[in-house]
Amino acid sequence: MKETFFFQAMVYLAAAVIMVPIAKKLGLGSVLGYLLAGIIIGPACLEFIGSEGTDIMHFAEFGVVIMLFVIGLELEPSRLWRLRKSILGMGGMQVGLTSVLIAGLAMLFGIDWKQSLALGMITSLSSTAIVLQSLNEKNLMKTAAGQSSFAVLLFQDIAVIPMLALFPLLASETNVATAEGGHGSASLVSSLPSWLQPIVVLSSVAAVVVAGRYATPPLFRVIARTGMREMFTATALLLVVGIAVLMTTVGLSPALGTFLAGVVLANSEYRHELESDIDPFKGLLLGLFFIAVGASIDFPLILAKPLLIIGLVVGIMICKLLVLFRLGKSFSLSTDQNFIFSFGLCQIGEFAFVLFSFSSQQGILSKELTDTMTAVVAISMAFTPLVMVLNEKLILPRLGVKEAAEERESDIVEEDNPVIIAGYGHFGSTIGRFLQANNVRTTVLDVNSDNVDRLRRMGFNVYYGDASRHDLLEIAGAAKAKVIVIAISDEEKRLELIETIKKHFPELHILVRSTNRYDAYDLMNAGILHIYRETLDTSLRLGVDVMKLLGHRAHEANRAAKMFFTHDERTLKRLSAIRNDEEYFYAVRQNQEELERVIQADRTAHTLQIDEGWDEESLIAENKGISYE
Amino acid sequence: MAKVLIQFAHPALSKSNVHKVLINYCRDIKNVTFNDLYEYYPDMYIDVEREQRLLLQHDIIVFQHPFYWYSCPALIKQWFDLVLEHNWAYGSHGNALVGKKMFNVISSGGAQDAYSETGRNRYTVHQFLAPFDQTAITCKMEYLPPFVIHGTYRITPEDIKRYGEQYRTILSALANDQLLALDYKQVDYLNELVPALQTLQH
């Protein structure tokens, strides 16, 4: 029973579903919730999951891979280029200084210099998963601290590659076991002749860039045209998994590969769709990863030598903290930002698990030492959310100066146009062109990929995506926009979209296209004030032209149409109220009769003679001396 | 030869007795252009460029309309507001209309004696038309006396026909520069010059 897949899945999901809301409620953040969930279901407490925790971790590391893909999607190449100073400067210095400091300390404790260096390098890394997840959750990614953290983490992810290359050189004896699992170890490339290796590696990277730039947009277009959302999700996942496999094969970090692919796709019109399709997987897999970390904490080992392990955790974290704080200062972060930055990054990261097992296999570090250190890494990761909460609750309030999630750089791509147009078919595009011509900035969402493609080529700001999804609306800037024009043709979707908007963006003015009278009733009942029956104006315009062709005067025909329109809009409101009646069928029938009455009334009311102001008959009669009464 | 532009405005022509007939008398005269404003601009959206082009192409501008509320139908006011642009029609550089002539052709329900100091309307038609007069002067144009059809509430079809012929006579005279030979500035209404013009034309 315990071994079945479904039981396992149930345990993981239940643990997450129970613990994460509790942790959030306590203000501890989701990461700590997941970690606690892992500890509870792990061997230490309920023993639902045992040693397979580490296997799951390998699988769950895919969450980190997806996360970097999503981060890449949010980063345009130009922005990445502007971050190059912080990435190289801050990231490089952080890894370098921490490695040297920890290695030095290790040597003081009498550890061999090669081993010390390995220890230093491994502990210099921080946890991309925990930090980014926590910063995102606290909405701090756009702050200076968030940007600096991101730059440093990115450098660390890159630095793992040379470390993996360097470690075999540190092995004191030549007892190199076959490397297996994890990032970049069992690669096909290592069996190739050494001159060929860099060529294969470089061409793989080039392949990712070229394919991302030129091959994926047409592919997505074809997939989007099938109109099946799950196909789009599948393609997005295939893309990420495919890159991960390719990168692992050539011995590069899969996280780095997908990050690169993300950056390449950041300019694509499918960006938002990709992001929101992949996001749930990212979240769940990351959660799984954190649970696995929690479950793998070796409590018996910790209980065996508590002082040593806790001492190591605290010592290493303080060392990292000092280096980070000093760095933050010299890169002129303000004090509060610097605290967020340093406390956030002071743990040891998930790559350490990989590197420790790798170095143990390579015979660099002893089994005993790596076991101890693995526990240290897990505890330091578990401490991170706590440390961040402490910082937030105890230190930051004392500083008094809080940098708000300040001015976004202009090229951070969330839209803030005043008008969103959902649906850019024949109806929406007319509105869009009209507004564009009047310098009203619009953001357009459309699910027709051909349409999107064509419009983008003409320089319009158009995104591919189903507007009824609140995450997409969010990205399209619905929180800041004033007006949303719903011009999609699907009646069901329109109502769905209205519901979403009312729930998540109640401030937004909603203007909706309606197909006909009955559809307009539905929209009215959904509380919409601005309803535009799509054929009403056009049919009246046609009616006016018919009258003109029949010899009626243009102005009179025009006025007649205007009058009909006003009259029709008024009765529409009355009739929609009838439909609210509980006796639905009765109401519909009555509605029908009313409609017939309206049409009859129009036929006999001499609409064209209503203009009494001009040449009033009573006035003429009076002047002729005839009594008009 | 002068070119005449009739700026016609009637929002409800189907209800008009007089103008329906009148326009049949003026539409086909040589050198006279008939511009039906409510037909061109049923939504009050005036094509200013077209209107200015027409003005430049003509020497005498006639405003033919019912005399609603001592003035013109709304579209003509709109026309003035939009077409007579500053520094085009008036202002230090506005010389587009210099020397052109302008007058009104109006139909009014009341009799002529109602339009006098002692009458029901207390002012003369010419006094009511002061905005047109002054507009013409501001645009450096010459403002002629109006052609007026009074008592349209009681008018007979024969009367209307007679007015139609008078109107035609005046328009032809204008197109042929004949009117200017007469002492037109001394009359209240152009109607008074019709007998003289008829003898001239025959």
What's the complex ipTM? 0.75
With CB atoms and an 8 Å threshold, state whether A624 touches B38: no
The pLDDT score that the predictor gives to residue A390 is 84
Cβ atoms B94, B87 nearer than 8 A: yes
- Counted domains in chain B: 1
SS3 A140: coil
Indicate whether A512 pLDDT > 90.
Answer: yes
Lowest mean pLDDT among A264-273, A400-409, A514-523: A400-409
For residue A307, pLDDT over 80 is answered with yes
A297 vs A45: CA distance, rounded Å: 11
Q: Does the beta-carbon distance from B39 to A615 stay under 8 Å?
A: no
Q: Report the alpha-carbon distance of residue A99 to residue B29 in Å, rounded.
A: 102
Average pLDDT over residues A472-485: 87
Question: What confidence tier does B132 reach under pLDDT thresholds 50, 70, 90?
Answer: very high
The predicted pLDDT at position A227 comes to 76
| pLDDT bucket at B19, cuts 50 / 70 / 90 | very high
**Could you say which DSSP state residue A215 is in?**
I
Q: Show the domain range for B58.
A: 4-200
A12 close to A38: Cβ distance less than 8 angstroms:
no
pLDDT value at residue A399: 65
- State chain B's mean pLDDT as an integer: 93
- Report which of residues A466 and A242 the model is more confident about: A242
Q: Residue A406 is inside which H or E element, if any?
A: none
Among B83, B82, B85, B94, smallest CA distance to B5 is for B83
The distance of B10 to chain A (nearest Cα, Å) reads 9
- Which of A165-169, A403-407, A444-448 has the largest mean confidence? A444-448
A268-291 mean pLDDT: 82
Q: Do A553 and B153 touch (CB under 8 A)?
A: no
- Spatial separation of the C-alpha atoms in residues A296 and A207, rounded to whole Å: 37
Q: Could you tell me the pLDDT band of residue A406, with boundaries at 50, 70 and 90?
A: very low
| CA of A558 vs chain B CAs: smallest distance (Å) | 6
- Residue A43's CB: how many other CB atoms inside 10 A? 18
Q: Is the pLDDT of residue B202 over 80?
A: no
The token pair that represents A109 in the structure block = 């404790």
Highest mean pLDDT among A47-56, A136-145, A217-226, A493-502: A493-502
Q: What is the pLDDT of residue B18?
A: 94
Task: Report phi then psi at A486, rounded to 5.
Answer: -95, 105
pLDDT at B141 (0 to 100): 97
Chosen for mutation from A545, A615, A617 (greatest number of chain B CBs closer than 10 Å) is A615
**pLDDT at site A36:** 85
Residue-wise pLDDT for A592-606, tens only, equals 565 556 555 555 555
* Confidence (pLDDT) at A181: 40
Q: In this model, does residue A308 exceed pLDDT 80?
A: yes
Give the amino acid at A475: I
Q: How confident is the model over A564-576, as a mean pLDDT?
A: 74
Q: Do A614 and B15 count as a contact with CB atoms less than 8 A apart?
A: yes
Q: Residue A553 is nearest to which of B13, B43, B109, comparing CB atoms? A: B13
Give residue A178's pLDDT band: very low, low, confident or very high (50, 70, 90).
Answer: very low
CA distance A615 to B17: 10
Chain B residues close to A563, C-beta within 8 Å: none
Q: What's residue A612's pLDDT?
A: 59
Highest mean pLDDT among A384-388, A457-461, A579-583, B96-100: B96-100
What is the pLDDT, as a whole number, of residue A305? 86
pLDDT of the residue at A365:
84
Contact indicator for A373, A347 with CB cutoff of 8 Å? no
Average pLDDT along chain A: 79
How much is the pLDDT for A475?
A: 79
pLDDT of A629 > 60? The answer is no
On chain B, the residues whose CB falls within 8 A of the CB of A611 are 11-12, 15
Judged by CB atoms closer than 8 Å, whether chains meet at A554 and B12 is answered as no
Domain of B20: which CATH number?
Answer: 3.40.50.360
Residues of B in contact with A558 (CB under 8 A): 42-43
Indicate if the pLDDT at residue B137 is higher than 60: yes
Query: How close is the nearest chain B Cα to the Cα of A627, in Å?
Result: 14
Averaged pLDDT for residues A454-474 = 75
Task: Give the residue among A382, A231, A240, A362 at the shortest CA–CA distance from A302.
Answer: A382
Bigger pLDDT: A188 or A321? Answer: A321
pLDDT above 60 (res A579): no
Mutate to test the interface with B, among A545, A548, A555 (most CBs of B within 10 A): A555
CB < 8 Å to B109, chain A:
619-620, 623
B149, B155 in Cβ contact below 8 A?
yes
Domain ranges of chain A: 57-403, 410-534, 553-629
Give the global pTM.
Answer: 0.52
Q: How far is B21 from chain A (nearest CA, A)?
A: 16
Task: Tell me the range of A439-448, A559-568, B40-49 where mean pLDDT is highest.
Answer: B40-49
Rounded mean pLDDT, A300-321 = 89
CATH of A57-403, one of 3.30.70.260, 1.20.1530.20, 3.20.10.10, 1.10.760.10: 1.20.1530.20
pLDDT given at position A179 = 38
Asked if pLDDT for residue B133 goes beyond 90, the answer is yes
Q: What is the pLDDT of residues A45-82, one digit of tens each?
A: 777 776 655 667 677 778 778 877 887 887 777 777 87
Q: Do B14 and A553 touch (CB under 8 A)?
A: yes
DSSP letter at B14 equals G
> What pLDDT is stored for residue A405 in this prediction?
36
- Domain A410-534 bears CATH identifier 3.40.50.720: yes
What CA–CA distance (Å, rounded) separates B143 from A20? 88
